[in-house]
Structures are given as C-alpha cells and as structure tokens.
Amino acid sequence: MKKKYTIVGIDEAGRGPLAGPVVSASVSIEENLLPKFINDSKKISEKNRELMYEEIVKNATYCGIGIISSEDIDKINIHNATLLSMKESFLKIKCKNCKVYVDGIFTPDIDAKLHAVKHGDRLVPIISAASIIAKVTRDRIMLSIDKEYPEYDFKKHKGYPTKHHIEMIKKYGICKYHRKTFKPIKNL
C-alpha cells in the first residue's frame, strides 16, 4: 500500500530588502482549492495577491508563518535567517508524514521528505500559495513599520533597495528595522 503524504509548499519573502524581516510560509491546501491563475507572488498585482491570500487562508489545511527580524538577519546572515524562518513556519503547522516542496536550491532542517525546486514559486502551485502568504504577510509588516517611520516611505518600496529608499537612508540615516550588514548600508 502506497504511503499517503500531506503535500506542503514553503517559500519566503524578503531576502533582498535593506529593511524588515524575512518571512516564510508553509502551506498545505488541496489542489482543487487553489486560486485560479495562481503564480509567483511577484508576478501578481498587489490587489490580486490580497484576494488570493484570503482564499488560500480560508481553504488551507495548514498555514504557518516564520518571521526572522532584521536584527537576527544581521547576526546569522540572510541565508541562515531564511532557512530558519522556513523551519519556524513548518514547525507551526505540526504536519506529520509530509512531502515538502521548497522554493530554491536549499531546504530547511525539518523532518519531512524534502524537494528543493529552483523557481518553484512559479512552477509548483503549492509553492506559489506559500509565496503569496509570505509576501502579503511581509508587506503588511512593512506597512506597520511605515506608520512608525513614515519618512522612509516603506509603504511604497517595502524596504527594497530602490533609489528612493537609498536617498531616504542618506537623508535620515537608518532605523532599527534596517539591515546593518547589507550594502549599501554597511558602507555608509
């Protein structure tokens, strides 16, 4: 008799920004309950991401979030922080007997049958679902950070290294959410 696995997708948002956390999501959802036209979160408009987020959360069997702060990213580096956030998200769903598809070429240290899939966020729908959950969660965190530090305009660039963001860093210095080990911040 064939072993039945629970299928889980894991992805992160926020590896590249100069500010804010890295956020990962672990999601298990029946394939027929996935939103139509699901894709990598970066390929979907903000409005559609929000709609898909609600649909995924409503229909998911499991949905866990892992968040690693910018302070911890500076301590352990972005690679280790990403894997740790993935592990945290997976541990929150308490999934047994899982087959896990992870976006990228590295996998977190978790007890599951793991498959790393390069560009998985656009190739594997369950990873796309995790991508959307992670991205919307991180964007919402950045909107709350924007209320605390409106001068940086986090609501517009979400901490990514845009020209405007770098200009604001040069003008105001850095805040507690900036990653001090990231260029160009560490060079200032």
176 pLDDT tier (thresholds 50, 70, 90): very high
pLDDT tens digit sequence for 111-164: 999 999 999 999 999 999 999 999 999 999 999 999 999 999 999 999 999 999
pLDDT tens digit sequence for 16-64: 999 999 999 999 999 999 998 998 888 999 999 999 999 999 999 999 9
**Of 43, 21, 35, the residue nearest 137 (C-alpha):** 21
Q: What is the pTM of this model?
A: 0.95
| pLDDT of res. 94 | 92
Position 1 in a domain: no
Query: Structurally, how many domains does the chain consist of?
Result: 1
Q: Which helix (H) or strand (E) holds 13?
A: strand 6-13
What CATH number does the domain containing 62 carry? 3.30.420.10
CB distance 25 to 118 below 8 Å: no
Name the residue range of residue 14's domain.
6-187
Position 50 in a domain: yes
